[in-house]
Amino acid sequence: MDEQKVLSIKGLLDDTPEEYLSHKEKYENSIRKSVLFYKTLHSTEDENMSVDEKTKLNFRNIVTSAIFKDNSPFMLHNSMFIPTIMGQGTDEQREYWMKRAKNMEIIGTYAQTELGHGTFIRGLETQATYDPDTEEFVLHSPVLSSYKWWPGGLAHTANYCIVMARLYIKGKSHGIHPFMVQIRDEETHMPLPGIKLGEIGAKLGFNTVNNGFLGFENHRISRDRMLMKNAQVLKDGTFVAGSNSKLTYGTMVYVRVLIVSNMANMLAKAVTIALRYSAIRRQSQPKPDEPEPQILDYVTQQHKLFIAIASSHAFYMNAMWLWEIYYSVSLQLASGKLDNLPELHALACCLKPLSTIDATAMIEKCRLACGGHGYMLSANLAQTYGLATAAYTYEGENTVLLLQAARSLVKAWVGHVKGRPLKGTMAYLAGDSTVKAWDGSIDGIIQSFKVVAIRKISSVVKILQDYEKSGLSPEDAWNKASVFLTAASEAHGRAVLLSVYKSEMDKRAAVLSPPLRKVLLQLVDLYVTYWALEKVGDMLLYASITDKDVDELQRRYIELLAAIRPNAVGLVDAFDFRDEILNSTLGAYDGRAYERLMEEAMKSPLNAEPVNQTFHKYLKPFMRGKL
Ligand SMILES: CCCCCCCC/C=C\CCCCCCC/C=C/C(=O)SCCNC(=O)CCNC(=O)[C@H](O)C(C)(C)COP(=O)(O)OP(=O)(O)OC[C@H]1O[C@@H](n2cnc3c(N)ncnc32)[C@H](O)[C@@H]1OP(=O)(O)O
Ligand SMILES: Cc1cc2nc3c(=O)[nH]c(=O)nc-3n(C[C@H](O)[C@H](O)[C@H](O)COP(=O)(O)OP(=O)(O)OC[C@H]3O[C@@H](n4cnc5c(N)ncnc54)[C@H](O)[C@@H]3O)c2cc1C
């Protein structure tokens, strides 16, 4: 990614901090910058790109979107509108729409969630009724709850959008399908007739993404606006179903994979800020005859921050591994081979939740590790948290996705018990389900996490079966057991995260210099040891760990923190974020945090004058008893 080129764009960086702009000004400023950015670095994914190039592009989009401190109103254009055209359009539709979308002749978004439904896609109420007489679809929002609600860029930015709507033909519902809908006039940008648009209001974050609402009043579109790669409606209204109704959910799988790499990037940003600040901040005097130490020398500070470095590496390695699987399954789907789609879906339903749960918690921990200055918006930690925590919810709320993964794990386990072979990332479920004696090596601990997953999956299946034997319906049994179903999915996800991180690092270790290999493998060791201590209950229950082993693990963990300390600043410098991307008074490379805090403070509009006009208008009369 040519950051120099991006950062050389005049006007891209803010003179007035966004914090002091109004809600409306923030949006307008973000549009201004997005246009500048795209004009200079306009690039989108090309279907002929190699896996590596595609992944770099996704990373590039993620990194560049960081410039905005919040996300761009163009975000959905890149991350969902274009991927949906690519994944759901016929060759002809792709040919036409990809050209317009890539050239930014049109700006799109992805409108699926409604005021009344987000998780339950099969409950979406927006109607697309086929009229064979005119060969058109009539889009209609029958009730308020059917209004599209949330899509990024929908309010004032996009002039087209993918609408996920329920298809009706001759009164019969044929499920949810994607429709390309023009929502604003390309010249005037006015909403088209029968279309109501607006903004949903201020949020915890994402305040420049222009999330909006969309309602239809019998709005007509031509038949060729249904994206018909996976299912078709013929002129006479004949419906031709796709090979798998879930193929229309394909964009969500893509974004879930993208989110894992995005979490690696977000966490890397936050720990760079917090760790650099911890290297310059001195506080307290544990040794009376010595100067105040860097707070980075407090082991508790190392405990808060070093796991974030290792986790960012772990998410990155898992994301690159998952991208390979995504692209190979996508190629298989293109040739009609569907049998690896369930595994990809299950993996994305584990890794998206775990990476967002961990990243959100660790970004907040990075903020908390910076004391009062971490609470300043100019530190850019709160905003980073706001962006990350949104990913807990969007693209499939985490609980819901973990339950989806549990569906696959339960099916795999029941099949295994009946003698059906297990494959891919679930093959280990056929392995040994006991740990005779604790093995504290990295591979031994990873094996213990696999045993924990096996035991949690097998025990929750037993709970389900007992409930069903007692007369409960499968649905009620499932709901009753759902807390432990999500726990089983989390255990599987942990086992995958750990084993992929280790194996991907091992692959790379061979080409690393010995000093670099040593440091990176220390991070793997730290990650595995940290999680063994975090999940010590599971280790006691299922992995034969003794109190002596725990004591040994704790000492190893402390030694690892000490071993990593000398390289800690180098490890975050290696993320190679430029100051403009970090956008943080605390994280700048030169370490001049106090000067930057003061510089940013002086940009507050309140500091433009020594006495604010409210003194004469309110305070003085009030203090003189005259109000
Ligand atoms: C200028 C700079 C610009 C920079 C631009 C780029 C910046 C990029 C930065 C960051 C990257 C990320 C940013 C993305 C931003 C996104 C914003 C948010 C968008 C959204 O949120 S879009 C809406 C997302 N909504 C959801 O995800 C809804 C979640 N719900 C569901 O997915 C489904 O309802 C469900 C899966 C929970 C249930 O579906 P359903 O009821 O139909 O199915 P079930 O009965 O449960 O299962 C049946 C069966 O189907 C299988 N199944 C389900 N889903 C899938 C799937 N997706 N693929 C394959 N198979 C699937 C399921 O396993 C069952 O199988 P079995 O019967 O068990 O065999
Ligand atoms: C910042 C942001 C950006 C977004 N951008 C877009 C966008 O561009 N396009 C778009 O279409 N959507 C977008 N969304 C919407 C997002 O996809 C939905 O918010 C998400 O799918 C969750 O749906 P919901 O909000 O309706 O919550 P609900 O589905 O109502 O869920 C609410 C809560 O109920 C519980 N719950 C729900 N279902 C189950 C279940 N089956 N089992 C157990 N518990 C359950 C969970 O605790 C869940 O958190 C965005 C959301 C956010 C926050």
Q: Alpha-carbon distance 542 to 494, whole Å? A: 15
Q: How many helices (H) and strands (E) does the chain have?
A: 22, 11
Q: Alpha-carbon distance 129 to 220, whole Å? A: 9
The finding on whether 145 has its CB within 6 A of some atom of ligand 2 is no
- To test the ligand 1 pocket, which listed residue (39, 44, 109, 252) has its Cβ within 8 A of the most ligand atoms? 252
In which region does residue 514 sit, left (phi positive, over 0), alpha (psi from -120 to 50) or beta (all else)? Answer: alpha
| pLDDT tens, position by position, 537-593 | 999 999 999 999 999 999 999 999 999 999 999 999 999 998 988 999 999 999 999
The residue type at 416: H
The finding on whether 252 has its CB within 6 A of some atom of ligand 1 is yes
Q: Alpha-carbon distance 262 to 270, whole Å? A: 12
Ligand 1 centroid to residue 564 C-alpha, Å? 38
Relative to the alpha carbon of 158, which ligand is closest? 2
The whole-number pLDDT of residue 246 equals 87
Q: Which residues are catalytic?
A: 395
Q: Alpha-carbon distance 604 to 130, whole Å? A: 56
Residues of the chain with pLDDT under 70: 1-15, 41-69
Ligand 2 centroid to residue 399 C-alpha, Å? 10
- To test the ligand 2 pocket, which listed residue (119, 214, 255, 404) has its Cβ within 8 A of the most ligand atoms? 119
The whole-number pLDDT of residue 37 equals 80
The finding on whether 406 has its CB within 6 A of some atom of ligand 2 is no
Helix (H) or strand (E) segment spanning residue 485: helix 482-509
Half-sphere exposure at residue 568, Cβ-oriented, CA atoms within 13 angstroms: 31
Binding-site positions: 113, 152
Angle at alpha carbon of residue 390, lines to 79 and 144, rounded to 5°: 85
The whole-number pLDDT of residue 245 equals 87
The finding on whether 261 has its CB within 6 A of some atom of ligand 1 is no
The whole-number pLDDT of residue 18 equals 84
Q: At what angle do helices 514-534 and 547-564 cross, to 10 degrees?
A: 140
The residue type at 6: V
Complete domains list, the chain, with CATH? 3-69 (no CATH), 107-246 (2.40.110.10), 254-422+439-570 (1.20.140.10)
Of how many residues is the chain composed? 627
Residues β-bridged to residue 212: 199
Residue tagged 């730290």 (tokens): 526
Q: Which atom of ligand 1 is nearest to the CA of 407?
A: 68
**HEC string for 231-259:** CEECCCCCEECCCCHHHHHHHHHHHHHHH
Ligand 1 centroid to residue 178 C-alpha, Å? 14
Binding-site positions for FAD: 113, 152
Among 589, 394, 368, 404, CA closest to 488: 404
| pLDDT tens, position by position, 580-620 | 889 999 999 999 999 999 999 999 999 999 999 999 999 99
Looking at residue 282, what DSSP letter applies? Answer: B
The finding on whether 249 has its CB within 6 A of some atom of ligand 2 is no
The whole-number pLDDT of residue 66 equals 46
The whole-number pLDDT of residue 336 equals 87
**HEC string for 99-133:** HHHHCCCCCEEEECCECCCCCCHHHCCCEEEEECC
Ligand 1 centroid to residue 88 C-alpha, Å? 14
Residue nearest to atom 39 of ligand 2 (CA): 400
- The tokens describing 26, both together, are 């923030």
Q: Alpha-carbon distance 330 to 87, whole Å? A: 9
Q: Which atom of ligand 2 is nearest to the CA of 116?
A: 26
Residue tagged 């000004």 (tokens): 25
The finding on whether 400 has its CB within 6 A of some atom of ligand 2 is yes
- To test the ligand 1 pocket, which listed residue (33, 404, 581) has its Cβ within 8 A of the most ligand atoms? 404
The finding on whether 206 has its CB within 6 A of some atom of ligand 2 is yes
| pLDDT tens, position by position, 288-322 | 999 999 999 999 999 999 999 999 999 999 999 99
The finding on whether 62 has its CB within 6 A of some atom of ligand 1 is yes
Sequence-ordered list of residues with C-beta below 8 angstroms from that of 583, at least 6 positions apart, any chain: 66, 67, 69, 380
Counting Cβ atoms within 10 Å, is residue 288 exposed (0-12), middle (13-18) or buried (19+)? exposed
Residue tagged 């706001």 (tokens): 386
- To test the ligand 2 pocket, which listed residue (397, 485, 489) has its Cβ within 8 A of the most ligand atoms? 397
Residue nearest to atom 52 of ligand 1 (CA): 246
Ligand 2 centroid to residue 356 C-alpha, Å? 14
Q: Alpha-carbon distance 68 to 75, whole Å? A: 11
On whether the CB atoms of residues 568 and 275 are closer than 8 A, the answer is yes
Angle at alpha carbon of residue 433, lines to 426 and 548, rounded to 5°: 120
Ligand 2 centroid to residue 145 C-alpha, Å? 14
Q: Alpha-carbon distance 399 to 348, whole Å? A: 13
Ligand 2 centroid to residue 150 C-alpha, Å? 10
